[in-house]
Amino acid sequence: MPKERFLVIGSNSFSGSHFIKRLIRNGYFTHGVSRSEQPNLAFLPYLWEKKIFIKDIFKFTKINLNKDIEQLIEIINIDEITHVVNFAAQGMVAQSWVTPEDWYKTNVVSQVEFHNRLRLNKNIAKYVHITTPEVYGDTKGWIKEKDIFDPSTPYAVSRAACDLHLKSFFKAYDFPVVFTRAANVYGPGQQLYRIIPRSFLSALTGKKMDLHGGGSSIRSFIHIDDVTKATLMLALEGEPGTTWHLSTTKSISIFDLVKKIFSITNSDFDDLVNIGEERLGKDQSYLLDSIKMRKRFNWSDKITLEEGLTETKKWVSDNLSIFENFNWDYQHKK
Q: 82-106 b/e with 16+ CB inside 10 Å = b?
A: bbbbbbbbbbbbebbeeebebbbbb
**pLDDT per residue as tens digits for the range 4-55:** 999 999 999 999 999 999 999 999 999 999 999 999 999 999 999 766 667 7
Residue 66's identity, in one-letter code, is N
Q: Is 333 a residue whose pLDDT tops 90? A: no
pLDDT of residue 158: 97
Instruction: Compute φ and ψ for 275, nearest 5 degrees.
Output: -85, 120
Give the rounded percent of residues in the chain with a pLDDT score beyond 70: 97
Give dist(CA 108, CA 157) in Å, integer: 10
DSSP 10: T
**Whole-structure pTM value:** 0.95
Per-residue pLDDT tens over the stretch 192-219? 999 999 999 999 999 999 998 889 999 9
